[in-house]
Amino acid sequence: MNPTRDTHATLVDLLDRVLDKGLILDADLIIHVAGIPLLGVKLRAALAGMETMLKYGIWQDWDEAQRAIATEEYRKKLTRAPEGEISTLCHKSVGTGVTAL
């Protein structure tokens, strides 16, 4: 298979390709002043569509962690709320995926 070049590709085509296949950015940045390194930054980022992230299992762990945090925060809110607000909070949680006590 030989690579081909499409001279009529647009920004939409590029974006579609990145979201479909994914893109990994791994960068190290060091800021020097007068030859002395002052600041170092290590950056690692993944850019892809949701289907691609789920296919490779990248998004699933983050999603589960966020749901656990939201559930714990909701439980704390319920324990601190006065009795009248508890029924309101429970009513609002229906259909949100957050589990009440």
Residue-wise pLDDT for 58-87, tens only, equals 777 777 888 899 898 888 877 776 665 655
Q: Kindly tell me if the per-residue pLDDT of 45 is higher than 70.
A: yes
Q: Name residue 33's beta-bridge partners.
A: 36
Q: Where are any strands of DSSP class E within 1-66?
A: 23-33, 36-47
Is 51's pLDDT higher than 60?
yes
| Torsion sign, CA atoms 41, 47, 50, 55 | negative
pLDDT-derived band at 27, boundaries 50, 70, 90: very high
pLDDT (0 to 100) of residue 100: 47
pLDDT at 33: 92
Please write down the long-range contacts of 22-30, taking CB distance under 8 Å and 24 or more positions apart: 22/46, 22/47, 22/48, 22/49, 22/52, 22/53, 22/56, 23/47, 23/48
Q: pLDDT at residue 90 above 70?
A: no
The model's pTM: 0.42
